[in-house]
Structure 1
């Protein structure tokens, strides 16, 4: 029996449709620009998963908060309504207090030390700590150190006092900003540009690259880069989605998550710093590095946070001490 060209095309389409129908698809939502470094981490994760599984396992990505805010997407993952999402460690501390270790100021000596700790046993145990909440972490996306940016000049810790600064929905970040004399103003990330534009906030606690990727540098022209925190985003997956995967598919997902973490630590870091430099070159942002004296002043200002932590949450305090010992 002979087939026409149209017949061959139909057979080919049916074959592709059959493969697609048999493939397992995981939906991954995140709240950032798909063209930025974080968006590219997930594209790399997607490609790695699909290549390693020969197309039997697929990732469908929904960027730019298409599926809701970060909090809403995490709730969906926890309930098994969404398969995967990216969560800031600052939000995770509201669910698992041990994540405060990634948000407390001056915990890690450097980005290298943070990578060593998080890629080892301490980091693995932390990722698994939320399994009884319906989800757990697969890996970390290393982020650049943070500072404070504003339309108003910031040349010293004194310039931060009294400013309404956007912070993430984290008790630790709220306490941190209060400690330096500013006014913490929790605001969803997607609303920050308009909040800056309309003067609802005077500035933000955040990472330098967002000045360019989120266009915050169009308004906030001053970035005080004190490197108080080196946060990490966490790639999370729902227990329900994980349990549906075969052992081989779970292995592929784990390997791809580790690849994404390594990418963020190496190539991703360089990309982030290039974006921060673009904020300087193309938007006219001024970056100010604190002096040793100013840094010591800020370290002293946040010491009561550590004192209260040791008193009220001794397990978290001991966990942070364990992290600091691991860096020696």
Structure 2
């Protein structure tokens, strides 16, 4: 009787530890991604899920639903927070209103170049923002590239003065609304999937994004002028729902982190190549590219944005650390 009681107590103790997983406990995970399957982000996520499946002997089987099959980003963010989506790749701007420190990474002209951005997000500053994201329900595993964002529209934009009065699509973020206001434009928050028809119909005059998004969404068909303002170089996160993360044992957590970092290195290589190819494609299709060589007139207009979003001592310190990172 005593031995039976001991065995029962041991079994009960194990059952009370939901984070412990064993080889017999297969898990099916659902993942969200807004991009089409051949996009660099999508291929990076596919590499991540393949590595996790291999290294867990298929105990953790992940399926990524590409092309926003599970909803637009705002919807997916909420699903992630309640645990109905297990993992996702998010643009930082969509998280600005939930996690204030993410706003620093989306400030205009905050990064000198791509190498500077990688140094920042892969180091202690990225860890600081990651800790804030985890408190909100997102466990950051790795940082993906999203490229420099520039303006494109139905008519040429050559100077900041050309922005005045334009209706420009932005993501659902107070920061992005204020950036457009600083340029004298009318910010129009819209889901990504509605941008093409809105440009086509004249509801929008312009939008802003990177080369691959501009090309893969075919926005170049209805917005024939691309201006290389490169006003923003916002990183993206590959993250797991905190609810799902809390049910993993330490060994599986390390498998996920390692696989995610390897997938990020792969995604960044794909991204650099895709940027080059996308630019060549749209130019061949007749798009007029307006190259901006001096961005200082644009950057000077962002002073009110920094005053609003980086005046808090903690945000100001993050800005200082980013600018001083070498």
Tell whether the structures are fold-level matches, with TM greater than 0.5.
Answer: yes
Task: Between 240-249 and 71-80, report the one with greater CA deviation.
Answer: 240-249
Provide the residue aligned with 1:230 in structure 2.
233
Verify the 8 A CA contact 1:78 1:134 in the aligned structure 2. Answer: yes
- Displacement of 1:21 in angstroms is 8.5
Out of 31, 35, 39, which is 1:36 matched to?
Answer: 39
Structure 1: 5+ residue runs without aligned partners?
A: 1-19
3-state DSSP of counterpart to 2:109? coil
Q: After superposition, give the CA deviation of every residue in 1:255-287 in whole Å (9 maximum; x if it has no partner).
A: 121112212332322223312321222x22122
Structure 2 counterpart SS, 1:138? strand
Alignment of 1:175-324 (within 5 A): 175-281=178-284, 283-292=285-294, 295-311=295-311, 313-324=312-323
Task: State the match for 2:30 in structure 1.
Answer: 27
Between stretches 62-71 and 155-164, larger displacement belongs to 155-164
Distance in 2 of aligned mates of 1:267 and 1:32: 14
Match of 2:108 among 96, 105, 108: 105
Cα distance in 1, alignment partners of residues 151 and 37 from structure 2: 24
State TM-score, norm by structure 1: 0.88
Give the match's secondary structure for 2:140: strand
Residues 252/239 of structure 1: CA separation in 2 closer, same or farther (3 Å cut): same
Q: Is the 8 A contact 1:115 1:265 kept in 2?
A: no
Segments of 4+ in structure 1 off by > 6 A?
Answer: none
Cα distance, 1:41 vs. partner? 1.4
Aligned residues between the structures = 304
Which SS does the other structure have where 1:226 is aligned? strand
SS in 1 for 2:255: helix
Q: C-alpha separation between the residues in 2 aligned to 1:305 and 1:258?
A: 32
Secondary structure of 1:209's counterpart equals helix
- Deviation sequence 1:128-154 (CA, Å, 0-9, x none): 212232332221111111110012122
Q: Alignment partner of 1:97: what SS?
A: coil
Distance in 1 (alpha carbons) for counterparts of 2:270 and 2:251: 28
CA RMSD for the aligned pairs?
A: 1.7
Q: How far is the alpha carbon of 1:173 from its aligned partner?
A: 1.1
Establish whether residue 120 from structure 1 lines up as the match of residue 117 from structure 2. Answer: no
CA contact (8 A) 2:155 2:224 kept: yes
Q: Corresponding residue for 1:96? A: 99
Residues 318 and 48 of structure 1, relative CA distance in 2, 3 Å threshold: same
Q: Distance in 1 between matches of 2:117 and 2:37?
A: 25
Aligned partners of 2:149 and 2:208 also within 8 Å: yes
Deviates more, 1:107-116 or 1:206-215: 206-215
Normalised to the residue count of structure 2, the TM-score between the two structures is: 0.89
